Structure 1
Amino acid sequence: MATAVPIPSTGRSGAVATVAARAEGVVKAYGAGETRVVALDRVTIDVRRGEFTAIMGPSGSGKSTLMHCLAGLDTVSSGRIWIGSTEITGLKDKKLTKLRRDHIGFIFQAFNLLPTLNAIENITLPMDIAGRKADTEWLDRVVTTVGLADRLKHRPNQLSGGQQQRVAVARALAARPEIIFGDEPTGNLDSRAGAEVLGFLRRSVDELGQTIVMVTHDPVAAGYADRVLYLADGRVVDDMAEPTAELVLDRMRRFDARGRVS
Structure 2
Amino acid sequence: MPRPTNGIAAATTDLSKVYGSGDTRVVALDRVSIAFREGEFTAIMGPSGCGKSTLMHCAAGLDSPSSGSVRIGTTELSTLNDRQLTKLRRDRIGFVFQAFNLLPTLSALENITLPLAIAGRRPDQQWLDRVVAMLGLSQRLGHRPAQLSGGQQQRVAVARALASRPAIVFGDEPTGNLDSRAGAEVLGFLRDSVRELGQTVVMVTHDPVAAGHADRVVFLSDGRLVDEMTRPTPDRVLDRMLRLSGENPQTPGVRSR
The normalised TM-score by structure 1 is 0.92
Alignment partners' CA distance in 2, 1:242 and 1:100? 29
Q: 2:185 — aligned with what?
A: 196
Give 5+ residue unaligned stretches, structure 2: 250-254
Q: 2:199 — aligned with what?
A: 210
Q: Is the 8 A contact 1:76 1:89 kept in 2?
A: no
Q: Is the 8 A contact 2:12 2:69 kept in 1?
A: yes
Q: Is the 8 A contact 1:29 1:38 kept in 2?
A: yes
1:144 and 1:259, CA in 2 relative to 1: closer, same or farther beyond 3 A?
Answer: farther
**What amino acid maps onto 1:200 in structure 2?**
F
Give 5+ residue unaligned stretches, structure 1: 1-12
Per-residue CA deviations over 1:172-209 (Å, capped at 9, x if unaligned) read 00010000000000000000000000000000000000
Alignment partners' CA distance in 1, 2:211 and 2:80? 32
Q: 2:172 — aligned with what?
A: 183
Q: CA deviation at 1:34?
A: 2.5
Q: CA deviation at 1:89?
A: 2.1
**What amino acid maps onto 1:64 in structure 2?**
S
Q: Is the 8 A contact 1:233 1:258 kept in 2?
A: no
The answer on 1:35 being equivalent to 2:10 is no
**What amino acid maps onto 1:125 in structure 2?**
L
Q: Is the 8 A contact 2:108 2:140 kept in 1?
A: yes
How many residue pairs match? The answer is 248
Identity of aligned pairs, percent? 70
Structural mapping, 1:150-161, within 5 Å: 150-161=139-150
Structural mapping, 1:1-262, within 5 Å: 17-258=6-247
The normalised TM-score by structure 2 is 0.94
Q: Is the 8 A contact 1:237 1:259 kept in 2?
A: no
SS in 2 for 1:74: coil
Alignment partners' CA distance in 1, 2:244 and 2:122? 48
| Structure 1 consecutive aligned stretches of length 4 or more whose deviation exceeds 3 Å | 257-261
Alignment partners' CA distance in 2, 1:103 and 1:156? 25
Q: CA deviation at 1:91?
A: 2.1
Q: Is the 8 A contact 2:96 2:171 kept in 1?
A: yes
**What amino acid maps onto 1:26 in structure 2?**
L
C-alpha RMSD of the superposition: 1.4
